[in-house]
Amino acid sequence: MLFNRSKKIVEQILALADVRLGGNRPWDIQVNNNEFYGRVLRSGSLGLGESYMDGWWDAKKLDEFFAKILRAELEKKVSNQRKIWWQSLIERLVNRQKRSKAFEIGERHYDLGNDLFQAMLDKRMTYTCGYFKNTENLDEAQETKLDLVCKKLGLREGMKVLDIGCGWGSFAKYAAEKYGVSVVGVTVSKEQVELGRKLCAGLPIEIKLQDYRDIEGMYDHIVSLGMFEHVGEKNYRTYMEIVNRHLSDHGLFLLHTIGSNGALETTDPWIEKYIFPRGRLPSIEKIGEAIKGLFVMEDWHNFGADYDKTLMVWFKNFDSRFESLKLHYKKRFYRMWKYFLLSGAGSFRARKNQLWQIVFSKKGIPGGYTLIR
């Protein structure tokens, strides 16, 4: 009786998004374990993700399943029904991204293994959204994005650039090779430092294992690609003050970050537990508050739809090459990573998440900034 009631509730919720239990459309879900219904009703988003990892349900197109339920805004429609589906988290009253926790994200995510990311990413190992302008090829999209960043900053030979959250050095290597600049990159991932130094050998690039709060020196321009999501709302102002302090008076700061349509008080519990601990997506409002009196916003470019394409190619690469990764990554990890990549693709397809490139100057550019697309 309890099972039938739980199934009926889940069925009614999914129907709001035109998703059926046992249906034959690619986004319909097939339940493999009847305990799935109670688990999802008890644990919401966390239960949905963990039950998928355990093989309790499947969908032919997981990305489209998420696009459907996110477009339907189920979390709003069922928010008063005993916290069914998405549970709200207790608002954090402490600084969860304090200095003592700075390296946790590196250890738990970016240090999973360079072999994983080499199998999944483009040839330059760029772990941020590609820019699919006039191309459908990931390698070309990532080089187009890197070149876009260089042009937006107006890089010229001899300049010194700081890359906050440099990853494996893809931007640093491209900028040094193509524009003749020197780059200092900082990351909290030991694995990224080790491989990044090898990939950038022979170029005027220094990659450091360092928290952004320990940055030293002055730079002509500063860039941060896909790192701000780990800073945390309570540190946004500190982050912007540090960038301002180390940026030359006539320099530009380019911030490339995933963004939320509105201010978020919580992080999805499954993402928090398995993918990005202590992460938080910024909103336009919170970024605006953080830069007040420090920067002039010169350009705000949104190409979030390209993250859907990026994630789909990442999954295709990961899926097709997983056989070579099986020694270090087991079946449950495969399902976890698939869920991560395809749920992310669905969220960008539904336009729930955005990808922003924002250009800041300290005091405004005389005559205005020339937009580059």
pLDDT in tens, 84-104: 343 333 334 444 455 546 677
Task: Choose between 346 and 85: higher pLDDT.
Answer: 346
User: Which residues lie below 8 Å from residue 69, measured CB to CB, with a gap of 6+?
Assistant: 14, 17, 19
- Residue 167: pLDDT over 80: yes
Q: What angle do CA 118, 119, 125 make, to 5 degrees?
A: 35
State residue 150's pLDDT score: 98
Other C-beta atoms closer than 10 Å to the C-beta of 115 total: 15
State residue 82's pLDDT score: 40
What pLDDT, in 10s, does the model give residues 177-200? 999 999 999 999 999 999 999 999
State residue 99's pLDDT score: 54
Mean pLDDT, rounded, for 227-234: 92
State residue 110's pLDDT score: 87
Q: How confident is the model at residue 2 (pLDDT cuts 50, 70, 90)?
A: low
- Residue 83: pLDDT over 60: no
Mean pLDDT, rounded, for 108-118: 91
Other C-beta atoms closer than 10 Å to the C-beta of 156 total: 12
Other C-beta atoms closer than 10 Å to the C-beta of 368 total: 8
- Residue 111: pLDDT over 90: no
CA distance linking residue 347 with residue 63, whole number of Å? 8
Q: Are strands 182-187 and 205-209 parallel, antiparallel or unpaired?
A: parallel
CA distance linking residue 238 with residue 183, whole number of Å? 23
Q: How confident is the model at residue 221 (pLDDT cuts 50, 70, 90)?
A: very high
CA distance linking residue 5 with residue 10, whole number of Å? 9
Q: How confident is the model at residue 245 (pLDDT cuts 50, 70, 90)?
A: very high
Q: What architecture is the 99-329+353-361 domain classified under in CATH?
A: 3-Layer(aba) Sandwich (3.40)
Per-domain boundaries in the chain: 2-77, 99-329+353-361
Alpha helices in 154-235 (DSSP H): 170-179, 190-199
What pLDDT, in 10s, does the model give residues 294-317? 999 999 999 999 999 999 999 999
State residue 323's pLDDT score: 94
Sign of CA dihedral 105, 109, 115, 120: negative
The mean pLDDT value of the chain amounts to 91
Tokens of 194: 């080790």
Mean pLDDT, rounded, for 322-333: 94
Q: DSSP letter for 138, please.
A: H
> Contact, 19 vs 48, CB < 8 A?
no
Q: How confident is the model at residue 254 (pLDDT cuts 50, 70, 90)?
A: very high
Least reliable range by pLDDT among 40-44, 72-76, 158-162, 214-218:
72-76
pTM (predicted TM-score): 0.92
CA distance linking residue 279 with residue 260, whole number of Å? 12
Mean pLDDT, rounded, for 189-215: 97
> Contact, 325 vs 120, CB < 8 A?
no
State residue 364's pLDDT score: 96
Tokens of 287: 């970024």
What pLDDT, in 10s, does the model give residues 133-154? 999 999 999 999 999 999 999 9
